[in-house]
Amino acid sequence: MTPLLNTFHDASPPLHTHPNCDLCKQMRRSSGPDDPMKLQRCKGCHIARYCSKDCQMNAWNLGHKMECKAWRRLRDSAIRSSGNDRAWCEFAQWREYHHDSLTNAALAHYMMDGPGSEEEYLLNVILLYKNDPSLPVERKFVMGGCQFVHKSIVPDGSVPAPTHRMTKEIFEIREHNARQLKARSGATGVIRMGAYVLIVKFAPLNQREPDGWKPFYRHFQFENEHFSEDVRVNEEKLPAQILEEIFLTGAKQRFCCGKIPGLPTCCCGGWTHQQGPKALGT
C-alpha cells in the first residue's frame, strides 16, 4: 500500500516508534530488508519481542512470565472465538503495523483538548476481526467504533469499552511510567504520556464473542511542543474517520526522522524516499 503522509496534525515528524527489544530497548530501523537486527517474537503471547535469547530469558524472570500468561489467555480466547489458530498472532502484527496511526489519532485529540487532557482521557477503538486468509495482515481488522473517553466514565454496556477497573489501571500505570521516565531522564518539565485501548471482537459478525471482547492497551509519550502544532481534523473529518480509512486500505504513516545512531542511512532505510536511502546529514 502506498504510504501516506501524516493526516492527523502538522507535527513533523509525526509520532512514530522504532521497533526495539522489550528488555534492553535496543532499537532497529523502522523497516528495510538490510536491517542488521532482527527481533524475535515471544512464541507464547506473540506480543513481546527481543533482540536475543538472553534478553528473552531475563525478561521472563523480571516479570514477563505473568504478563505472558495474561496475554496467552486472550490468545486462547481469540482462537476459540474465531476458529483460527493465528487470530491473536495476526492481531499482534496488525497492532504493530498501525501503532503509529493510533498514537497520532490519539495525539490529535490531546492537541485539540489542550495540555493536561492526557491525564484524563484515552482513545477507545473498537475492532472487528476479518477472518479472511486472502487479506494481508494490515487489513485484518476494521473499525467498529471510536471514542475519546474520560477516565471517570463507567461503561453501561451499550458500547464495548474498557471496564472501570481497567481504565483505573491504565491511568495508574501511566502515572508510574511517567515518574520512572522523569527519574531516568532527569527531565524537569511535565512528562506527556497518552494511551489508546483496543477492544476486539474475534467472533464472526453474526455471532456473540463467547468470552467477551478482548481489551489491549498501550501508552505512548509525546512532547509539550505538540500542543503548538495545528490539527488537520475538523467536524467533517474526525480522527475516527481517518483511522477507519487507514484500517480499510492498510495504509501506513510515512515518516523519517534519521535519528538512529550507528546506522549509515536514515531512520526509514529509504522506503519513504522516492530517491532511495538518505544519508544522514544531507
Whether residue 42 lies inside any domain: the answer is no
Instruction: Read off the pLDDT band of 2 (50, 70, 90).
Output: very low
Query: Residues 92, 104, 6, 274: is their CA dihedral positive or negative?
Result: negative
Best-predicted range by mean pLDDT (5-19, 101-115, 233-247): 101-115
pLDDT at residue 30, as a whole number: 45
% pLDDT > 90, the chain: 60
Whether residue 150 lies inside any domain: the answer is yes
Whether residue 170 lies inside any domain: the answer is yes
Instruction: Read off the pLDDT band of 261 (50, 70, 90).
Output: low
Cell of 44: 507464547
Half-sphere exposure for 19 (CA within 13 Å, toward CB)? 23
Domain that holds residue 135: 82-249
Whether residue 261 lies inside any domain: the answer is no
Contact between residue 190 and residue 226 where contact means Cβ atoms under 8 Å apart: no
Alpha carbon 219 to chain centroid, angstroms: 8
DSSP 253: B
Whether residue 194 lies inside any domain: the answer is yes
Whether residue 245 lies inside any domain: the answer is yes
How many domains in the chain? 1
Whether residue 107 lies inside any domain: the answer is yes
Q: Which residues, other chains included, contact 188 with Cβ-Cβ below 8 Å and sequence gap of 6+? A: none
> Mean per-residue pLDDT for 40-48?
94
33 pLDDT higher than 50: no
DSSP 9: B
Whether residue 163 lies inside any domain: the answer is yes
